[in-house]
């Protein structure tokens, strides 16, 4: 599979999960019973799983090639979403108000089975699902599946009473390759995470290693629940441990502590650690490119980076006319993530997609990750069905065959709004347009960039107490004008920049506000590409 082939299919996957969420939603806590579970188990621990994946890395990769049963080979999305797990055949993880695991059926985009195990007192017991564990609401599919043995399941989701007592809600879903998504309280489906990214949008084909088996350790809500996973791919194997700590009444975000151990079968040109995938179609920065009644359409609007140097950087996302590819060099990063800062319904005016409820995802590395870069990939997109944004950590030294590596990090899923009491201000909005003075003809090469800053010390300051630092890197671009004003109606501090850009090559813009001898805001970053 080439890199570009995943863009549409991944978004289809998101749509599938969104539809399935509505179809599979549980309105109250139910007495879920076990699916068929092996009476005897095998010894299991994270170290045992690690040893197995290390041993597997020393053997040739064997792709799954068994075709699906005929009724599932060409099933449509509409028919697929009508396949629902039976509530009485779900797997209850815990003795009280715990977690419930519900499987996703194979078919449509999902043609490789995963194994599922329940870990009880240090032993892994395989959980098997059959066609009897599902309801087939499409009559044609129901008839075709009669007497058919399914080779496994495509993935699963975990539900728990996270949003309100006695009402089950989705916490996380694992479905397709190494993709997974979690939710904070009150959030809706949006950006995704992956276990690993290999050679994304490079000259060679991208690899998509997959989670081939999951091990679920029982817990009672609100205690954290642990999921282990095995990762298999042509160039790498891996052992993962995910500790999911759901949102609480005093904390809107869900936190996931991840330990990822990798074992390399082959040399890898570029390995992406803690990868995130999202969609950005348009916002105030590029609204004019789309004929749509909605003011904005995106799952994320910026890449937030804390390189551990004291500077916070906000890279406003773009939907470029050609592939955007940015590397931000760092040493032992403190945090990075794809954020959704526009959080009001009025920002989108979409009562179906509810982009205002899509979660931000922040990666917080644990321990020293060393030298490397946060890489941001922006793929041109015409439809909101295209996941066109990817961000991940790239270690400085590429991995070679026989190498091993371990990375620990925390994922935070939720609104993750800027702290209004933080010492520095944040980027609240980015707009672009024709540069120069309104009402007169201006040079076509003159562009205007308007950045609104809020928070920090800005509320107590007047515009004449604040200065701007603005620059352009790249041949053919220069800042010709900048000015700071305070908008009385909103209280934001607005920086307007005019830039002469006479080149087809990308240019990098950088700006922030200063006052009283210190930097007052995040550093705003933006890449401009002429159409």
Nearest to 213 by CA among 26, 7, 42: 42
For residue 21, pLDDT beyond 80: no
- Tokens representing 439 are 């009402």
CA 132 – CA 150 distance, rounded (Å):
10
Q: Do 203 and 340 share a domain, yes or no?
A: yes
Domain end (from 414, 437, 468): 414
CA 238 – CA 54 distance, rounded (Å):
8
Task: Using a pLDDT cut of 70, give the percent of the chain over it.
Answer: 92
Q: Tell me if 63 is assigned to some domain.
A: yes
Q: Tell me if 420 is assigned to some domain.
A: no
Domain end (from 414, 444, 464): 414
Q: Do 304 and 252 share a domain, yes or no?
A: yes
Mean pLDDT of the chain: 91
Strand bridging mode 115-120 / 302-306: unpaired
Residue 452, Cβ density class (10 Å: 0-12 exposed, 13-18 middle, ≥19 buried): buried
Tens-place pLDDT, residues 364-375: 999 999 999 999
Q: Do 431 and 516 share a domain, yes or no?
A: yes
Tens-place pLDDT, residues 392-424: 999 999 999 999 999 999 999 999 999 988 999
The structural domain count of the chain equals 2
Q: Tell me if 421 is assigned to some domain.
A: no
Could you tell me the pLDDT band of residue 100, with boundaries at 50, 70 and 90?
very high
Interacting residues of 5 by C-beta distance below 8 A, sequence separation 6+: none
Q: Tell me if 456 is assigned to some domain.
A: yes
Residues 440, 386 contacting (CB under 8 angstroms): no
For residue 31, pLDDT beyond 90: no
C-alpha separations of 261 from 59, 66, 213 in Å? 17, 28, 15
Tens-place pLDDT, residues 421-468: 899 999 999 999 999 888 888 888 999 999 999 999 999 999 999 999
pLDDT at 347: 97
C-alpha separations of 398 from 31, 103, 273, 331 in Å? 49, 36, 12, 16
Q: Tell me if 96 is assigned to some domain.
A: yes
For residue 217, pLDDT beyond 70: yes
- Tokens representing 198 are 């290999």
Residues 159, 29 contacting (CB under 8 angstroms): no
The pLDDT of 200-228, averaged and rounded, is: 95
Which DSSP state fits 287?
G
Q: Tell me if 503 is assigned to some domain.
A: yes
Cis peptide before 317 (omega within 30 of 0): no
Q: Do 366 and 433 share a domain, yes or no?
A: no
Q: Tell me if 419 is assigned to some domain.
A: no
The pLDDT of 125-139, averaged and rounded, is: 92
CA 472 – CA 450 distance, rounded (Å):
15
Strands (E), 203-334: 210-217, 225-232, 236-245, 254-264, 271-278, 280-282, 297-298, 302-306, 312-316, 324-331
Q: Do 54 and 137 share a domain, yes or no?
A: yes
> Cα-flanking dihedrals φ and ψ of residue 267, to 5°?
-65, 145
Q: Do 403 and 435 share a domain, yes or no?
A: no
Tens-place pLDDT, residues 279-332: 999 999 999 999 999 999 999 999 999 999 999 999 999 999 999 999 999 999
Tens-place pLDDT, residues 62-76: 999 999 988 898 889
Domain end (from 358, 385, 414): 414
Q: Do 394 and 482 share a domain, yes or no?
A: no
pLDDT at 34: 45
pLDDT at 38: 67
Q: Do 50 and 156 share a domain, yes or no?
A: yes
For residue 262, pLDDT beyond 90: yes
CA 376 – CA 209 distance, rounded (Å):
20
Residues 172, 158 contacting (CB under 8 angstroms): yes
Q: Do 142 and 280 share a domain, yes or no?
A: yes
Which range among 17-21, 182-186, 512-516 shows the weakest confidence by mean pLDDT?
Answer: 17-21
Q: What is the CATH number of the domain that holds 455?
A: 2.60.40.10
Q: Tell me if 174 is assigned to some domain.
A: yes
pLDDT at 89: 80
Q: Do 92 and 228 share a domain, yes or no?
A: yes
For residue 98, pLDDT beyond 60: yes
Question: Domain range holding 294?
Answer: 3-414
- What three-state secondary structure class fits 455? coil
For residue 164, pLDDT beyond 70: yes
Q: What is the CATH number of the domain that holds 343?
A: 2.70.98.10
Handedness of CA 289, 294, 295, 301 (dihedral sign): negative
Could you tell me the pLDDT band of residue 476, with boundaries at 50, 70 and 90?
confident
Q: Do 221 and 288 share a domain, yes or no?
A: yes
Q: Do 176 and 261 share a domain, yes or no?
A: yes
Residues 313, 340 contacting (CB under 8 angstroms): no
pLDDT at 292: 96
CA 100 – CA 88 distance, rounded (Å):
11
Report pTM.
Answer: 0.93
CA 372 – CA 251 distance, rounded (Å):
32
């Amino acid at each position: 599979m080439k890199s570009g082939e995943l863009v549409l299919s991944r978004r289809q996957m998101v749509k599938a999960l969104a539809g399935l969420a509505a179809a599979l939603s549980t309105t109250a806590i139910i007495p879920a019973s076990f699916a068929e579970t092996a009476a005897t188990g095998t010894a299991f621990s994270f170290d045992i799983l690690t040893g197995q994946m290390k041993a597997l890395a020393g053997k040739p990769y064997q792709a799954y090639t068994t075709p699906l049963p005929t009724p599932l080979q060409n099933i449509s999305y509409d028919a697929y979403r009508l396949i629902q797990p039976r509530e009485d055949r779900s797997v209850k993880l815990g003795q009280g108000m715990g977690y419930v695991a519900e499987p996703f059926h194979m078919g449509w985009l999902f043609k490789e089975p995963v194994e599922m195990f329940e870990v009880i007192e240090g032993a892994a017991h395989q959980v098997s699902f059959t066609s009897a564990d599902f309801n087939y609401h499409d009559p044609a599919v129901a008839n075709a599946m009669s007497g058919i043995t399914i080779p496994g399941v495509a993935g699963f989701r975990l539900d728990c009473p996270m949003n309100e007592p006695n009402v089950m809600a989705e916490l996380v879903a694992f479905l397709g390759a190494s993709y997974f998504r979690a939710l904070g309280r009150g959030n809706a489906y949006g950006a995704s995470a992956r276990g690993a990214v290999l050679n994304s949008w490079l000259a060679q084909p991208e690899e998509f290693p997959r989670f081939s088996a999951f091990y679920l350790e029982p817990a009672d809500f609100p205690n954290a629940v642990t999921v282990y996973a095995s990762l298999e791919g042509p160039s790498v194997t891996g052992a993962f441990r995910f500790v999911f700590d759901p949102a609480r009444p005093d904390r809107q975000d869900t936190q996931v502590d991840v330990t990822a151990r990798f074992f390399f079968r082959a040399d890898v040109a570029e390995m992406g650690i803690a990868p995130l995938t999202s969609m950005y179609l348009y916002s105030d920065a590029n609204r004019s490119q789309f004929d749509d009644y909605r003011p904005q359409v995106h799952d994320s609007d910026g890449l937030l980076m804390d390189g551990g140097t004291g500077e916070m950087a906000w890279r406003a996302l773009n939907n470029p006319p050609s592939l955007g590819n940015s590397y931000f060099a760092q040493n032992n990063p403190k945090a990075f993530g794809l954020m959704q800062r526009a959080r009001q319904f009025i920002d989108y005016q979409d009562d179906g997609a509810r982009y205002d409820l899509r979660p931000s995802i922040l990666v917080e590395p644990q321990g020293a990750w060393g030298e490397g870069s946060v890489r941001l990939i922006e793929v041109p997109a015409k439809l909101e069905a295209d996941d066109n944004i990817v961000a991940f950590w790239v270690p400085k030294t590429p991995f070679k065959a026989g190498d091993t590596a371990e990375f620990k990090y925390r994922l935070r899923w939720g609104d993750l709004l800027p702290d209004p009491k933080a010492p520095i201000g944040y980027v609240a909005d980015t707009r672009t347009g024709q540069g120069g003075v309104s009402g007169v003809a201006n040079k076509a090469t003159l562009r205007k960039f308007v950045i609104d800053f809020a928070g920090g010390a800005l509320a107590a300051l007047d515009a004449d107490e604040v200065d701007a630092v603005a620059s352009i890197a790249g041949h053919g671009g220069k800042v010709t004008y900048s000015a700071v004003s305070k908008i009385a109606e909103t209280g934001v501090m607005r920086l307007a920049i005019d830039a002469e850009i006479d080149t087809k090559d990308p240019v990098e813009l950088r700006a922030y506000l200063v006052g009283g001898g210190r930097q007052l805001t995040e550093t705003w970053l933006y890449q401009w590409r002429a159409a």
